[in-house]
Chains A and B, each alone.
Chain A
Amino acid sequence: MTSKYNISSSSAYGNGGSLFGRVDKVALGLYVALVAVGMVCITAASFDEESASIFSFSHNYMKQLVWVGISWCVSLVLLLLDRRFFHMFAYPAYIVGICLLLSCLVFGKEVNGAKAWFEFGGMRIQPVEFVKIATALMMARVMSSYSFNINRFTDLVKAACVILLPLAIIVLQNDTGSGLVLCSFLFVMYREGITKYIYFPALFTVFLFIVSFIFTPETIFIFLLVAFTAYTAVKTGAFVAHIRFLAAVLLAALLLAVCTPLSGYAALMIVCGVVAVVLVVMALKMRAMMLLWPVLMFVYAMVFVPTCDFLFTKLEPHQQNRILTFVGMKSDPKGIDYNVNQSQIAIGSGGLFGKGFMQGTQIRYDYVPEKHTDFIFCTVGEEWGFMGALVVLAMYMALILRLMRMGERIGEPFGRVYCYCVAAILLFHVWVNIGMTIGLMPVMGIPLPLLSYGGSSLLAFTMLIMIAICLDASTSDESNIM
């Protein structure tokens, strides 16, 4: 509607050949392959030799097969839809999504401490899965609107609101893990040209967040002090002056700590605070922006790190534990660590080629908890080994890169933003999920896309990807950027 590309592509599927002539076969193929791998793994993970019939619907893999069927029917419908439909559909979808989240907050069922599920007669649906689609569409819609400029403040706020509104509700649902997925949209914003004055502080925040759990605040401040001083020293070339400055600050803090009843930490904070104020005033007077930036970032850290510590105490105990376990502050092999230990044992014991289909002992004998849902990757690692795991990783990487390429190829902002959103969501899920199974990330309850058992998750990811393929298919005949 707003885009010039829409006009000619509206002529249904006439000149571009049939529908299946124009869909991206690589993406579709990767999708089908991943679903197939998922079916194999779910079968291996949930097969129970004591059950009567292997085709009984009491088996998880038979249930999942039904969901695969449903997903593919939905895919067909989605592929037949026109791109403009999604464009129109974005607002209502987003509103419905927000409403669903809110009603879930009220009527939802609590599972594992998160009130994030609807239950319909034994079937559970997690609205968050579908909110991802709605948010992605909404992001695409907002960011593709006419004269949208990510670096204009009002536009940035608009985009941020699109993310933060559902995020806030999800955090209220106590499902922070799923909520963090939406943060992956920073990826999209970067692509859409967000300025480094935004993404660099954002990355800095993430950095501070992680180190604040590993090191004490004093250590972090001293490190930052040295790092920033070194940075300006290199930039200006005035090494001696910077060394004097550093020595002066540290000496002052030391003197203050020795001569007064203040603790070393408080002394450091006071000295740094005074010096920072002086430096900011000086920098503003001298219009020395190069000096201003590091000082401001340091002040930000001085505020952020204690706040972070404070907020951490406000987290639920199980979340605190997961984070502490992850950063290695707490070792508790039979407790929180148990999931991570057992999943690493399962994957690690797979070796190069794995133990073979249905031969994974750790999986079969229930040592891996959540083995067919969040920890489905353990089945890949144990039964198919490093080679199998590499193949699966390669498939995900290919799919993500393909989606990004499709986004570039579409050439108009709506499709591009949407494709990047999907790629970002997939990347985040894969990174966090596989990362947690091999001890790189804390345990967050988010599924592995297309592989994990679970109907709503499979359907949601199918829809995400199919919409991207559809958007790509309906524009591919006229835009050949790549």
Chain B
Amino acid sequence: MSNFVRYRNLRYVVYLVFVVLACRLFYVQIIDDKYKDLATSNIMRSTVEYPMRGEVLDRRGEYLVRSRVCYDVMVVARNIPKTGFDTVRLASILDITPERLKSQLKKARQAPRAPFLVAGYLSQEAKLIFDEGNFEGFYTRFRTAREYPRKIGGNLLGYVSEVNDAQVRRWEYYSAGDYIGVGGVESAYETMLRGEKGVSYKIYDTHGAIKGAYMDGSMDVMPVKGMQLTSTIDARLQEFAEELMEGKVGAVVAIEPSTGEILVMVSSPTYNPDLMVGRQRNNNYARMLHDQRNPQFNRAVKAKYPPGSTFKLVQGLIGLQEGVLRPNDMHPCHGGYKYGRRTMACHDHRSPIDLRDAVATSCNAYFCYVFKDIITNPKYANISDGVRAWNDYVYSFGFGRKLDSDFTGEGAGYVPTPEYYDRAYNGRWNWGSVISCAIGQGEMGCTPLQMANLAAIVANRGYYYIPHIVKHIEGRDSIDRRFYERQYTMVDSIHFVPIVEGMWRGVNVWGTSGGARLPGLDVCGKTGTAQNPNGRDHSTFLSFAPKDDPKIAISVYVEHGGFGASVALPIASLLEELYLTDTITRPELVERVKNYKINYTKYDRMQREYDQRRAERSQK
């Protein structure tokens, strides 16, 4: 082989080496796109920027819920310096014990690259001190926390909580660590209150230090603050109602009849919404969970109470509309209503009486006659059809179905149907079997919201607006259109006259509601005393005022409170007075209501048994 050939071959080797390198470079740099993405994902990381959650105002513009700035302190365990740091100082800044900090860091080290929440709800001042400390590996995340200036309306307003896995899977918007409204206004108006999350893209170096904004921030999206809601609640009235209901189990709902706006909604026992914010949140939540009176249960929209005598209004109205009752019809009552061998007892009053007086004195016998006439009306082929017709009327008053208010988890109550009776009585039943419905007992179940709505219907003489809790949303002209539409009952306006007259008389002339009289305000009311199998009667009162230009319709329900007039009535009366005149002229009545002691033997027994079971479980 000549030297020339060897020289040439070696040149070919050199060419080959460089061609191979160039081809590989061509592949890596031009053909394969993955490296560009990998390079971007190397340096760029996106951070979610949380928006400020919208506030909720009361109807007068006072804050019910505010958002305050707070910070989560996060750690990436890998970035903690190996040499250690001042744990005692950090713990004191974060306001946790050093032991707690150590246990948190131990947890964080299980996934050393992932951000881990060390402590939440750091105030702005504490954050500044934290920043000065320059703790390597730790950083803060902007969040907002809820704040309740008046500390009222726990169940009404709901609370904010971190999303759970199911919610993350269900809605694309949420990712782990986001907040979501639970219950009440927070949940019903979640999409408006939450605002829009933003995102910022930052450049990181290989050590995890931020080196600046990616593409000078041109891809960043600013978070949009949540909308401000104006609720229909009157904060002053709400607070007063909660005060009056303290120690009692029950609910108060007040509605403005001309709009359907809910002025007051108390579910008692209630809780201070501030308990659902902050680091003690979980403890507070657990404590409420173990409380057998169930403070987290919004009785105002979910409970199923027998309406008692307040339901007589509906029976009277249906009777009038059906033509089986005329306002002047007299019925006798001698201590009760006899059917077969049984008697529906009644209290002592004069007899016979007409419809107005029957409403005013709350005569049981009178409405048994009326109800029997309705369901045994010969125009219906049988009693089933009669009850079915009655059902339709009752439904039109909003009973036995959801009112479609803006509360999530609204209860429907219960109105017994012929099918129900067929099942319950094995197909053999007559009007006597169902007569307790005449006076709102038996299988009837209503939510306090439905009862307040009934008061509003009577106040409006025949129609209602769907009760709602929000009257204005920031940046919108109106709320949902369904809240502006009159919902008519199947009873004509004319038939309300004697009923209203009876309610007025009961308060102002002679009847069971005398204690609700307010000079010059023409209060109309109807008491209710609902029997129940769990103990003393429930006390309820249904009222509106003034008679000819109703401003407020109210329903108060106190479990085991005794006669309607004994506790529900004074509460309703005081609230009406405050709302309509801005004054309280009967401080002694306030005291009496507040000091009114009710023994909840059933709840207490349940609590005892529950605590015992828990204790046994924890011993095991």
B38 & A345 in contact (Cβ 8 Å cutoff): yes
Interface of A is mostly: helix
Whether B22 is near chain A, meaning CB under 8 Å from some CB there, is yes
Q: Which residue of B10, B15, B35, B203 contacts A345 across the interface (Cβ within 8 Å)?
A: B35
Residues from 459 to 481 in B contacting A, C-beta threshold 8 Å: none
Whether A293 is near chain B, meaning CB under 8 Å from some CB there, is no
Query: Could you give, for residues 322-342 of chain A, a 1 whenever the CB lies within 8 Å of some chain B CB and a 0 otherwise?
Result: 000000000000000000001
Whether B106 is near chain A, meaning CB under 8 Å from some CB there, is no
A397 & B14 in contact (Cβ 8 Å cutoff): yes
Q: A191-B7, A381-B25 are in contact. Are A345 and B42 (CB under 8 A)?
A: yes
Residues of chain B with a CB closer than 8 A to A397's CB: 14-15, 18
B25 & A390 in contact (Cβ 8 Å cutoff): yes
B39 & A346 in contact (Cβ 8 Å cutoff): yes
Q: A351-B30, A352-B29, A393-B21 are in contact. Are A362 and B43 (CB under 8 A)?
A: yes
Q: How far is the CA of A320 from the CA of B29 in the complex (A)?
A: 29
B14 & A348 in contact (Cβ 8 Å cutoff): no
B211 & A349 in contact (Cβ 8 Å cutoff): no
Q: How far is the CA of A187 from the CA of B6 in the complex (A)?
A: 10
A438 & B14 in contact (Cβ 8 Å cutoff): no
Which of A27-35, A158-166, A400-408 forms contacts with chain B?
A400-408
Residues of chain B with a CB closer than 8 A to A381's CB: 25, 28-29
Whether A173 is near chain B, meaning CB under 8 Å from some CB there, is no
Q: How far is the CA of A431 from the CA of B14 in the complex (A)?
A: 10
Q: Which residue of A191, A344, A352, A393 contacts B35 across the interface (Cβ within 8 Å)?
A: A344
Q: Which residue of A187, A342, A348, A364 contacts B29 across the interface (Cβ within 8 Å)?
A: A348
> How many residues belonging to A are interface residues under a CB distance threshold of 8 Å?
43
Residues of chain B with a CB closer than 8 A to A342's CB: 42
Q: Which residue of A187, A193, A385, A434 contacts B21 across the interface (Cβ within 8 Å)?
A: A434
Considering the complex, give the chain A residue whose CB is closest to the CB of B18.
A397
Residues of chain B with a CB closer than 8 A to A423's CB: 14
Whether A361 is near chain B, meaning CB under 8 Å from some CB there, is yes
Q: How far is the CA of A394 from the CA of B376 in the complex (A)?
A: 107
Residues of chain B with a CB closer than 8 A to A400's CB: 14
Residues of chain A with a CB closer than 8 A to B39's CB: 345-346, 348-349, 361-362, 367
B206 & A365 in contact (Cβ 8 Å cutoff): yes
Least distance between B31 CB and chain A CB atoms (Å): 10
Residues of chain B with a CB closer than 8 A to A440's CB: 20-21, 24
Residues of chain B with a CB closer than 8 A to A396's CB: 18
Whether B395 is near chain A, meaning CB under 8 Å from some CB there, is no
A404 & B7 in contact (Cβ 8 Å cutoff): yes
Considering the complex, give the chain B residue whose CB is closest to the CB of A408.
B7
B24 & A427 in contact (Cβ 8 Å cutoff): no
B24 & A438 in contact (Cβ 8 Å cutoff): yes
Q: Which residue of B11, B20, B35 contacts A401 across the interface (Cβ within 8 Å)?
A: B11
Residues of chain B with a CB closer than 8 A to A455's CB: none
Considering the complex, give the chain A residue whose CB is closest to the CB of B31.
A348
Q: How far is the CA of A18 from the CA of B617 in the complex (A)?
A: 104
A401 & B1 in contact (Cβ 8 Å cutoff): no
Residues of chain B with a CB closer than 8 A to A365's CB: 42-43, 203-206, 211
Least distance between A393 CB and chain B CB atoms (Å): 6
Residues of chain A with a CB closer than 8 A to B211's CB: 364-365
A385 & B29 in contact (Cβ 8 Å cutoff): yes
Residues of chain A with a CB closer than 8 A to B36's CB: 348-349, 351
B21 & A348 in contact (Cβ 8 Å cutoff): no
Considering the complex, give the chain A residue whose CB is closest to the CB of B204.
A365
B42 & A347 in contact (Cβ 8 Å cutoff): no
Whether A439 is near chain B, meaning CB under 8 Å from some CB there, is yes
How many residue pairs bridge A and B at CB < 8 Å?
116
Whether A386 is near chain B, meaning CB under 8 Å from some CB there, is yes
A362 & B34 in contact (Cβ 8 Å cutoff): no
Q: How far is the CA of A381 from the CA of B24 in the complex (A)?
A: 12
Whether A478 is near chain B, meaning CB under 8 Å from some CB there, is no
> How many residues belonging to B are interface residues under a CB distance threshold of 8 Å?
36
B203 & A347 in contact (Cβ 8 Å cutoff): no
Residues of B within 8 A of A (CB): 1, 3, 6-7, 9-11, 13-15, 17-18, 20-22, 24-26, 28-30, 32, 34-36, 38-40, 42-43, 203-207, 211
Q: Which residue of A347, A367, A390 contacts B22 across the interface (Cβ within 8 Å)?
A: A390
Known contacts A191-B6, A349-B35, A393-B22; 17 further A-B pairs (Cβ under 8 A): A191-B3, A191-B10, A349-B38, A349-B39, A361-B39, A361-B42, A362-B42, A365-B42, A365-B204, A365-B205, A365-B206, A367-B42, A386-B30, A404-B7, A420-B10, A438-B24, A440-B21
Considering the complex, give the chain A residue whose CB is closest to the CB of B28.
A348
Residues of chain A with a CB closer than 8 A to B29's CB: 347-348, 350-352, 381, 385-386, 389
Residues of A within 8 A of B (CB): 187, 190-191, 193, 342, 344-352, 361-362, 364-367, 381, 385-386, 389-390, 393-394, 396-397, 400-401, 404, 408, 420, 423, 427, 430-431, 434-435, 438-440
Least distance between B275 CB and chain A CB atoms (Å): 45
Considering the complex, give the chain B residue whose CB is closest to the CB of A407.
B7
Q: How far is the CA of A394 from the CA of B25 in the complex (A)?
A: 13
Q: How far is the CA of A367 from the CA of B207 in the complex (A)?
A: 9
Q: How far is the CA of A110 from the CA of B7 in the complex (A)?
A: 40
Q: How far is the CA of A190 from the CA of B15 in the complex (A)?
A: 17
Interface of B is mostly: helix
Residues of chain B with a CB closer than 8 A to A401's CB: 11, 14
A386 & B203 in contact (Cβ 8 Å cutoff): no
Selected A-B contacts with CB under 8 Å, 8 pairs: A191-B6, A347-B29, A362-B42, A385-B29, A393-B21, A438-B28, A440-B20, A440-B21
Which 4 pairs across A and B sit closest by C-beta, in order of nearness? Answer: A348-B35, A349-B39, A365-B205, A386-B29
B35 & A193 in contact (Cβ 8 Å cutoff): no
A386 & B1 in contact (Cβ 8 Å cutoff): no
Considering the complex, give the chain A residue whose CB is closest to the CB of B29.
A386
B206 & A438 in contact (Cβ 8 Å cutoff): no
Q: A187-B10, A344-B35, A347-B29 are in contact. Are A361 and B203 (CB under 8 A)?
A: yes
Residues of chain A with a CB closer than 8 A to B32's CB: 348
Q: A349-B39, A366-B207 are in contact. Are A386 and B10 (CB under 8 A)?
A: no
Q: How far is the CA of A350 from the CA of B204 in the complex (A)?
A: 19
Residues of chain A with a CB closer than 8 A to B17's CB: 427, 430-431
Q: How far is the CA of A427 from the CA of B29 in the complex (A)?
A: 22
Residues of chain A with a CB closer than 8 A to B28's CB: 344, 347-348, 381, 438-439
Q: How far is the CA of A365 from the CA of B20 in the complex (A)?
A: 30
Considering the complex, give the chain A residue whose CB is closest to the CB of B6.
A191
Least distance between B614 CB and chain A CB atoms (Å): 48
Q: How far is the CA of A400 from the CA of B12 in the complex (A)?
A: 12
Residues of chain B with a CB closer than 8 A to A367's CB: 39, 42-43, 205-206
Residues of chain A with a CB closer than 8 A to B30's CB: 351-352, 386
Least distance between A386 CB and chain B CB atoms (Å): 4
Instruction: Name the residue in A361, A381, A393, A431 with the highest tally of chain B Cβ atoms < 10 Å from its Cβ.
Output: A361
A438 & B25 in contact (Cβ 8 Å cutoff): yes
Considering the complex, give the chain B residue whose CB is closest to the CB of A362.
B39
Considering the complex, give the chain A residue whose CB is closest to the CB of B4.
A408
Considering the complex, give the chain A residue whose CB is closest to the CB of B32.
A348
Q: Which residue of B10, B20, B21, B203 contacts A404 across the interface (Cβ within 8 Å)?
A: B10
Considering the complex, give the chain B residue whose CB is closest to the CB of A365.
B205
Instruction: Name the residue in B10, B24, B32 with the highest tally of chain A Cβ atoms < 10 Å from its Cβ.
Output: B10
Q: How far is the CA of A9 from the CA of B29 in the complex (A)?
A: 49
B25 & A386 in contact (Cβ 8 Å cutoff): yes
Considering the complex, give the chain A residue whose CB is closest to the CB of B205.
A365
Q: How far is the CA of A347 from the CA of B13 in the complex (A)?
A: 25
Q: How far is the CA of A347 from the CA of B32 in the complex (A)?
A: 11
Residues of chain A with a CB closer than 8 A to B3's CB: 191, 193
Q: How far is the CA of A277 from the CA of B28 in the complex (A)?
A: 49
Residues of chain B with a CB closer than 8 A to A364's CB: 205, 211
Residues of chain A with a CB closer than 8 A to B21's CB: 393, 430-431, 434-435, 438, 440
Least distance between B2 CB and chain A CB atoms (Å): 9
Least distance between B5 CB and chain A CB atoms (Å): 11
Q: How far is the CA of A171 from the CA of B35 in the complex (A)?
A: 36
Residues of chain A with a CB closer than 8 A to B11's CB: 401, 404
Residues of chain B with a CB closer than 8 A to A430's CB: 17, 21
Least distance between A193 CB and chain B CB atoms (Å): 7
Q: How far is the CA of A367 from the CA of B203 in the complex (A)?
A: 12
